[in-house]
Structures are given as structure tokens and as C-alpha cells.
Structure 1
Amino acid sequence: MDKHSFNQGLLQFLQQSPTPFHAVTTMQSTLHTAGFELLQEEDTWHLKPGGRYLVQRNGSSVIAFTLGSGDPAESGFRMSGAHTDSPCLKLKPNAVMPTSPQTGNALQFAVEVYGGALLAPWFDRDLSLAGRVEYRRSDGSLGSALLDWQRPLATVPSLAIHLDREANSNRTINAQKDLPPVLALQASAADFDFNRWIIDALSAQQSIDDVDSVLAHELYFYDTQAPAMVGLHEDFIASARLDNLLSCYVGQQALLADDSTQAENFALLVCNDHEEVGSNSSCGAQGPFLRSVLARISAQLSAGDAPEAVERMIRRSLFLSIDNAHGLHPNFADKHDNNHGPLLNQGPVIKVNANQRYATNSRTTALFKSLCVQSEVPVQSFVVRSDMGCGSTIGPITAAGLGVETIDIGVPTYGMHSIRELAGSDDAWYLARVVKRFFQS
């Protein structure tokens, strides 16, 4: 696949994936079309050498893997991981806020901030809503469905500069008070039936017409502005959720492109939910999802004692933790270490931290740099300034939980955790070439 086709596919994937649920559904459809068999965790698995499989948990995390013909305890897995969630505004359970003449009879939804969102860019955007809804059918059984209104439904209006003269110099944002989006103007909240609105959406979007009541929801606001190629020479990709759906797409495309020696390769992609809030969930990187899948693979394909076979397999494996890195911002160059400010469109970034906020070590660095040389792809390094704090990824969590050798990598990005982020138009394609070679190694 050439760079243009790769980037157009990335834009389409971003557009189709406003929430982790939609991202996993989109990935599952693509992988299934490519011949990956869907497994259910509650069923008995019948894995075959040379097979291609996928399994999801909670509808928001997914693992896809290909099996070689040998014993995975002897060869290990080539694994890459990313995360499906992004910082955003999530609807509270009792979504409709009271209206009053004092608030201009504005219909607003109550929200809480999911993850470490950069809040200022959420103002004055055309917002829509998407996510998952649980409901009860008329016969008493339970159902679940994804919804996505796709069109602009709401906005968080800024306060005019005339009413806040210090807005450009001394503004703080109160998440409880300042962020509830405005959806309509009406006499009272009683004029809007939220449950009826959801039921109508289930009928219109999913042709589900036997809904008795709405029981719960996980709905998220998102920016309706479409992903785009930006710049005089289309140097950039601009979109919401580049952190970290870009990495999910890179891993997926690399796995799909690994068609050289399936009979020899054991390759795996895991995309976890909840990284932005600590990964501490049943489907997050701190949960048992990945180890559970590896144990089941080993139980069917490895010879010898089961616990020992799993550990032997892990010790022969390598894990790429793929998450975006902070690109050198031209207006804030002093926020970077002078020798470690990654440039956009100059290749993937190796992320290093002495305090193990990233799982990179010298051995995994050497292996990744060697893959970049073989792929004819430039490579960079990122280290945070010594007087600044450092974020983290699923890398250290996975390394500590499994004991697998791990390296943290990613593409350099501007505006991380903003409602609209910016990456170089060369870098994801570069990285996919390296990850493809990694899966084939």
C-alpha cells in the first residue's frame, strides 16, 4: 500500500471511530473481512496452526493474532499494543440538567471529563454524540447497541471577552460549571424526554423497535469536523483521537500486511481501552485480557507443562507499545530537551525515561533501530526535560504484568489530548512499514 492510500484509510478509520466501541467494531469488521475468525471468550476455542483469529472484550478492547505452524513456546510472539480511548467529555447517567429562566432556558447535558483532556479547545466546536446504550426489550430481555448521531447536536459556547477581560491572560476552566454543552432552548427540562430521544435513535439508527426502556448508557461528545490532510503540501494529518487510534490503525495494517510466512510467524495486536484513565479495568492493560489469550493459545499449541510453556513463550516474545509522542512544537521549543525534540515527518520515535514511565531499554532500542534500518525508515528519540514530569503508556504496565521485553514507540504529534491533534503525513506510514517487518521477523 502506498502512502496516499494508507493515509486515506487512516482518515476513514478515524471518521468511523468516534468512540472505543466504534473503533473496535470497525477493526473487527476489517479483520473479519481479511479472514480473521471471531472467537468468543466464553466458548471453547479450537485453534489451528496457520489460523488468524480475533477476540474482543467489553466491545472496546480487541486482540487479533496469527498462528505459525510450530510451538509458540519455542518461537515466542511478536506483539504490538495501542489503546482505543481518547480524552473527551462523557455524559453523566442523569444527563439532562434542570432549566430555568436564569440560565436562559437552555437545555444542557451534564458531562464529566474522561482522561487528561486539554479543555480549552472544546469550546465553540460543533459536537455530536456517540457510544453504547443498554436497553430492555418489551419481552423483558436485555439488549445493547451502538449509536452515533453524526450531525452537530451541541456546543460549549465561550464567554465573550467583554464579560471576561482576563480571558486571554488568566483564565481557568471549571469542569463542573463551564463545560455542559448547550443543545436547545426550551421552557423546561420536562419538555425533553431523554429516554424517548434514545429510543427514537435506536429505531432510526439501528432499526430496533421493541425497546421498553433505556437502562444505561456510555455516550461521549466528539467534534464533528472531519479528519483532513492539512498544509501547503499536505504535510499534516489533523483529526480528533489521533492519540491513539492512529497507532491502532498502524498495528492493524501491519498485521494485515504480514502475509509472507504465516506458517512461521506468531504475531499479535492488542488494543486496550481505558489507557487514558489508568488502564485499571477488565479490558484495560492492567487487566488479564492479554495474558488470558496468550495462556489459551499456549494451552492448545505448546507442548509440555502449561504454566512453564506460557513463561517460555513470553520470554521469547517482544512487545511494541505504540503511542503518540510529543513533537517539537515550533512555538514552544523550550518545552523540549535540546537533543530529544522529535520532528514531524522525520520517522517514528523511541520513547525513553530513566524512571520507567516508558518500558524502553537498550536491548529493545537496538532491536527496533535495526528494524528501522531494514525498513529504510528514519528513527528519532524522545526524552522529556529533566525538570518536567513524564506521561506513560501501556508499555510499562504490559511489561510489568507479563514480564515481556518491551519498547515504547510512536509518531510525533502536536496538540496531544486536544479535541483536534496534528501528526505528520509521513510518520504513520513509516511506522507501519517497521511494524510489518517486526511481525515478519
Structure 2
Amino acid sequence: MNIPDSTRAQAQDLLDFIDASPSPWHAVATAEQRLQAAGFSRLVETERWAIAPGGKHYVVRGGSSIIAFIVGSDSPAEAGLTMIGAHTDSPGLRIKPKPAEENAGMIRLGVEVYGGPILASFADRDLSLAGRVNVRTANGFATRLLRFDTPLLRLPNLAIHMNREVNESGLKFNKQTELPLLLGVADGSKAEERFRAPIAAALDVAPDDLLTWELAAYDTQKGTFWGVHREFLADSQLDNLASCHAALSALLAVPAPRQTALVALFDHEEVGSESAVGAGGSFVGDVLARLANAQGLDAEDQRRQLANSFFISADMAHGWHPNFPAAYEPCHRALVNAGPVIKSNANQRYSTGAESAARFMAICERAGVPCQQYAHRTDLGCGSTIGPIVAARLGIPAVDVGNPMWAMHSIRESAGVLDHGYMIAAMTEAFHG
């Protein structure tokens, strides 16, 4: 398999992006660093905005969602916007507000299941903590990012001698009693003290100054290539940081678009998007309204702008697994390394319609990129995305697309190297208009 050096470099950059982003807050911080390096300036929601044609800006809400855009050169009402959306969160285990408990001399951390992870994949992994912590200051509190690079936690399997049916019945964990993560031996210390001590040391504050936190357990193993030709990649959070990376890469590759080009990366997709920072909130609508206002659009032209716009919802897709052919719709097998997937569902779990699908096909054709179509088995429940949510709130045509992958919602997912390059090329072409 021939993989161009430029495509290999894009895939390596994706792995670097993911490895720098073990939580939604880190993902936004990583995106912000890249945007600033490309000359984007930050806008703050509490301040007035000054925006001009060609301006490159971004806005952060809640630390875990970010919208970046380049103001187009053409009339906004006539040209509309091209928007690409993805999400920064991934399913997993989140640390509870008061997590530490001692049990027979061992300290465990209580966790809450976030979204729909494959829980068995978290067993026997080198886990650590990442997220954000609010610490006491003289003026109230300050929010600090936190990441431990070395493994702190583990979810050890029960030996097969005590779970003889594991290979026949599957590995299952009771979410309340069997998922708490092992932190260490109590060794005479109180559980709460043992939990707070390393966090306080990492942030250089007193343990009592740790007020609240949003922390996730993450896998410290870095991303890698695999396969005879290193044609596949494996990492955590490919769903959906791969789409975030592709969208940002495309935006940075189009310095002067005719249409305004916008990328919106939302938190909380995996739990329904209904939050102030989620796609179901007002974030993208607020940004679009303020952008239109700064461009001098009246109410009529604002609606004309939206009517002339197009939204691409980018979320990873189910790649065909040769070991489980019965899990797929027979004529909709999305092959890994065969191009972006257009996802359709008659019940509007995806935003794709026949017209928007054809539009994305044309984009791929112009970009010289193959594309595929996917529909879920009729007798299986279909997942959803931010696509229908944003399309409904803004009233604009939309399409749901994504790259095929294996082991979606596992702590270690896999996808194709070629596909990532294909998606960046298609998104870049979409921004070119």
C-alpha cells in the first residue's frame, strides 16, 4: 500500500494532537495553541467584538468547547458560511467529587461512567488522571489544567481462576462496586489525603486549596501506527479528536476563503449535547449572531446568510469488521482506508439528506477523494451526532460524515492512515467553496 509522506505526516500530527489532549479541556488548549500560532486572535464573550473581512478569530466557552473562523471576502448574505462541527469529548470514566475510599488497606477512587465506553477495555491499562481543577486563590478561585504523564491508577482484572466463565460470558463490571480504580496502599494515610497530595503537588498548592475538579481516567500509552505497511493507527479518543484535528487542519489550510469558514468543536456530545457548551446550547448560534452583527447584517440578511450556508457534521463511522460481518447492513460496508463515509438514517439520527449527501460527494470528487455510504442495520439502534441538533437549531442543510474505524468507544481505537488524509482534503475543498 502506497502512503504518501504528506499523508503519513498528517496522521503523525493527529497522534501528536491526541496525545497532547487527554481531556476535552486539553483538546481545546491544544487547538488554541495551533490557532494562535497561525495568527488567530481570541475573542471573549463578555467583550465587544471587532471583526473585519479576512479576520481570523476563535472563541472558547467553558474551557471545553471552541469555535474558530475566518471571515470570508464575499458578501456574507450572498455567500453564506461553510461550517464543520465535531466534538471534543470521548466516553470514559470520570472521577467523582469525593472519590477516595479505603478498603482493606487499599485506596480506591470512585468513578462515574461518562457516555457509553466499552468498559472492559479499561481493564489492565496504564491509567492516569487528566482534566481541570479549581484551586483557591486570594480572589476566589482559578482553574488549572492537570495531567499526570505517568500511570497512577489501574483497573486490574479478576483472575480467571475466580471468573471461569469470562471467556464465554464476557468481561463485565458492576459500575458501582467493581469499577473504582486502584490508587495505592493506604499505608496509614487517610484516603482523601492520598488522593489530594499528588494533585496539590503537581499544581504547587496546598491540598486544602483544591476546591473542585473535573478529572478523567485516561490511557497513558501513546498513539502508534500498525500493520505490515503501517497503514493503520491506534490511539485513544480517535472518536472524535480525529475529526477535530481534520477540521482544524482544513481551516488552517485555507487562509483566505470566499465564504466565511467556521469550525465548531463541542463538548458533551457523548452525553446528549444539552449543555451550555454542547451543540444543543446557544454557543454556535451566539457566535453566528455576533459575527453577523459585526458585519452589519440586518435580520433579513442574517437569514439569507444561513439559507446560503452548509454544515458538515464530522464524527467517526463504523468500519466494516471482517470478524463480525453479521453486525453490518449488507450493502453498506464502510472499509477502512477507502475514504470518508456519508452516514444516513431515515429517522434523522444523522442529518444527511439525499441533497446534502450529493453535495458532499461532489466535494470529495473535486478533492480527488473516494467516499463511501453507511447505514446501520435496521434491527440495531443507531447512534446520533451533533448534526441533527445544529441543523435543527440553525435551519441549514447538513450532512453527517466520518472516517471508518474499529473498536469505537474502546480505550484503544483504530482507524486508517489514508482516511485521515482523505478527510482533511475533503474538508479543505469544502472551505474553498
Which bin holds the TM-score, normalised by the shorter protein?
Answer: over 0.9
TM superposition shift of 1:265: 2.7
Q: Aligned partners of 1:406 and 1:427: how far apart in 2?
A: 21
Give secondary structure in 2 for the equivalent of 1:176: coil
TM superposition shift of 1:349: 0.2
Number of residues of Structure 1 aligned to a counterpart in Structure 2: 427
What RMSD in Å do the two structures reach over aligned CA positions?
1.4
Tell me, yes or no, if the aligned pair for 2:387 and 2:400 is still in contact at 8 Å.
yes
Opposite residue 364 of structure 1, the aligned amino acid is S
Q: Aligned partners of 2:385 and 2:241: how far apart in 1?
A: 14
Question: Could you tell me which of 302, 305, 319 is aligned with 2:311?
Answer: 319
Opposite residue 337 of structure 1, the aligned amino acid is E
Question: Could you tell me which of 65, 81, 87 is aligned with 1:61?
Answer: 65
Give secondary structure in 2 for the equivalent of 1:121: helix
Question: Could you tell me which of 71, 75, 85 is aligned with 1:81?
Answer: 85
Q: Which residue of 2 aligns with 1:152?
A: 151
Question: Could you tell me which of 209, 219, 224 is aligned with 2:220?
Answer: 224
Opposite residue 259 of structure 2, the aligned amino acid is N
After superposition, residues 269-418 of structure 1 pair within 5 angstroms as: 269-303=263-297, 305=298, 307-418=299-410
Q: Aligned partners of 1:223 and 1:142: how far apart in 2?
A: 29
TM superposition shift of 1:190: 1.1
C-alpha change, 1:176 and 1:210, in structure 2 (3 Å) is closer
Q: Which residue of 2 aligns with 1:206?
A: none
TM superposition shift of 1:215: 0.9
Opposite residue 408 of structure 1, the aligned amino acid is D
C-alpha change, 1:140 and 1:51, in structure 2 (3 Å) is closer
C-alpha change, 1:89 and 1:188, in structure 2 (3 Å) is farther
Q: Aligned partners of 1:433 and 1:302: how far apart in 2?
A: 33
Opposite residue 155 of structure 1, the aligned amino acid is R
Q: Aligned partners of 2:388 and 2:21: how far apart in 1?
A: 26
Matched, 1:11 2:3: no
Tell me, yes or no, if the aligned pair for 2:107 and 2:191 is still in contact at 8 Å.
no
Q: Aligned partners of 2:207 and 2:72: how far apart in 1?
A: 45
Moved more, 276-285 or 189-198: 189-198
After superposition, residues 196-235 of structure 1 pair within 5 angstroms as: 196-203=197-204, 209=205, 213-235=209-231
CA deviation string 1:234-282 (max 9, x = no partner): 12110000000000000000000013x43x2310000000000000000
Q: Aligned partners of 2:148 and 2:187: how far apart in 1?
A: 24
Give secondary structure in 2 for the equivalent of 1:44: coil
Give secondary structure in 1 for the equivalent of 2:190: helix
CA deviation string 1:373-426 (max 9, x = no partner): 111111100000111110000000111111110000000010000000000110
Question: Could you tell me which of 25, 28, 41 is aligned with 1:37?
Answer: 41
Tell me, yes or no, if the aligned pair for 2:369 and 2:422 is still in contact at 8 Å.
yes
Q: Which residue of 2 aligns with 1:177?
A: 177
Q: Which residue of 1 aligns with 2:432?
A: 440
TM superposition shift of 1:210: 7.6
Q: Aligned partners of 2:182 and 2:402: how far apart in 1?
A: 36
Opposite residue 237 of structure 1, the aligned amino acid is L
Q: Aligned partners of 1:212 and 1:156: how far apart in 2?
A: 28
Give secondary structure in 2 for the equivalent of 1:398: helix
TM superposition shift of 1:68: 1.7
TM superposition shift of 1:69: 2.9
Q: Which residue of 1 aligns with 2:117?
A: 117
CA deviation string 1:49-106 (max 9, x = no partner): 1100000100100000000233312210000000000001100000101332xxxx11
Give secondary structure in 2 for the equivalent of 1:404: coil
Q: Which residue of 1 aligns with 2:136?
A: 136
Give secondary structure in 2 for the equivalent of 1:92: strand
Tell me, yes or no, if the aligned pair for 1:352 and 1:381 is still in contact at 8 Å.
yes
Give secondary structure in 2 for the equivalent of 1:143: strand
Moved more, 346-355 or 70-79: 70-79
Matched, 1:96 2:100: yes
TM superposition shift of 1:300: 1.3
Moved more, 350-359 or 182-191: 182-191
Tell me, yes or no, if the aligned pair for 1:98 and 1:189 is still in contact at 8 Å.
no
Opposite residue 97 of structure 1, the aligned amino acid is E
Tell me, yes or no, if the aligned pair for 1:34 and 1:256 is still in contact at 8 Å.
yes
Q: Aligned partners of 1:151 and 1:339: how far apart in 2?
A: 45
TM superposition shift of 1:192: 5.4
Structure 2 unaligned blocks of 5 or more: none
Q: Aligned partners of 2:417 and 2:124: how far apart in 1?
A: 27
Tell me, yes or no, if the aligned pair for 1:318 and 1:406 is still in contact at 8 Å.
yes
